[in-house]
Chain A
Amino acid sequence: MHRLKKIFATDSYIVPIVAVIMGFIVGAIVMLIGGYDPIAAYSSLFQRVFGSSYDFGEAIREMTPLMFTGLAVAFAFRSGMFNIGADGQVLIGMTAASLVGIKLSGMPTYLLVPLAVIAAGLAGGLWAGFAGYLKAKRGINEVITTIMLNWIALYLSNYIVKNFLLLEGQNRSVDNPASMSMTFLASAFDNARIHWGTVLALAAATFFYLYLWKTKQGYEMRAVGFNPHAAEYAGMNVGRNVVKAMFISGVFAGLAGAGEVLGVFHYQSIFAASPGYGFDGIAVALLGLTHPFGVILAAILYGMLTYGSAGMSFGADVPPELIRIVIGSIIFFIAAQGIVRWVLKPFYFKRKKEKVS
């Protein structure tokens, strides 16, 4: 755990950049072995992302939930916790947004949308806060509780959609009248599903930064994250900070759910399995070195790769799963920084040979 913490908390920026490059190289080697043309593959990947305004908009859509879940995982991590439950918190956020949006559909839009968004954030926050409470009061490891809560969230969400929100004969809810879509940008992006969630995610990253590094409460949270014993000695309430940090982490994840339901699909599906945003969020947080602005950049990269991978199979006949190798290698190189440093070493300094007289 301590090692993991060290890896997560490193503040050097050169490593992730080199890790990304090395990840692409590993991907290229695998393609060569498989008899594909990596240059064609990568160029069609980027063509897919930047090729048309529609695709570019859709790539942004792909990045948005990753920004939120990445922030969620990173925030918990900075406070000394590992929130593996962002996935469940996203689902609970979705469900809350659906419930409010559909059940209160009589309300005027300018009230309904904010209300649905707030409900999503709050629901995600409480869902994660519960795991924080169990850790603070009962000493149960949050890794275990958040994983269990993921499953509860999945089946609870499906239950609610099936019983209260179902569109007859379909495997999804009725349409949600609350919409976060940025309709005024629709023409610019050729009807790509751009929504306010992206702006909210950027605001969340700013909040993350200001809260953690500029406020009294953030100071406490970081102290608890680094050294709960010293925090307790200094008179801080460790348990309260744990609950609070998990709550805020869950709010970020819940907002991702709001974006998906209110901005992208406008309805909620019955999920056969968890959508996986939360787990991608762990990767994004790691890639972004758990710094809010790093997380945003990491989400952009991750979203681009994921979205562009479809173009790779279309343009170069490379299976889109290959991008998972690239992403996996990038994360591997970030985690195994020693390898990156070893690659970089010749550029930094020349080591003298040890000589023996």
Chain B
Amino acid sequence: MFKNIYNWIDERLDITPIWRDVADHEVPEHVNPAHHFSAFVYCFGGLTFFITVIQILSGMFLTMYYVPDIINAYASVEYLQTKVAFGQIVRGMHHWGASLVIVMMFLHTMRVFFTGSYKAPREMNWVVGMLIFFVMLGLGLTGYLLPWDNKAYFATKVTLEIANSVPVMGPVLKELMQGGTIVGAETLTRFFALHVFFLPAVMLILLVGHFIMIRRQGISGPL
């Protein structure tokens, strides 16, 4: 029956080549840890994506409880952490995943750098990868404020002061992120919007670009 449904759709949309392309592409021996243990360094990119998926899923569950206003933000996080079933696990995964995704991305970047994989014809993919790196750092920065405890509040104050010290653009940038003259209610909602909507959207677009390019160009050859 499933075969008939599949065939019905395939006759109309010709979907076979799409998944065939994803499924059947070659994974050469030199990146396969089953053949060469040292090839585990080629896993870091995939692991970065894996943890990114964990971040998206755990983040979606966190927004079921999180309230982005200064009266309730802390209380909602505390409630999630101490009262909700598995809340501590979900928040823990998001918290530790945020660190691990940076670690994995860093290792992936180092692998690409030291194997010279960014060289022609893969220059653009490196640039897109670095943009993903910067977006990830932005996600870490904005997410840090959301529990609205003292550590978050004072770290964000310092961050915005640093942004303020950039010549010409600084004060504008600071006020844009801060949403006013102090770190307060507006800052929290802005950081929330950036963390949950703007930056993930940008990241997903960049990720699609990253993956399309690697499919087009294939993985770099053995050294």
Tell me, yes or no, whether A binds B. Answer: no
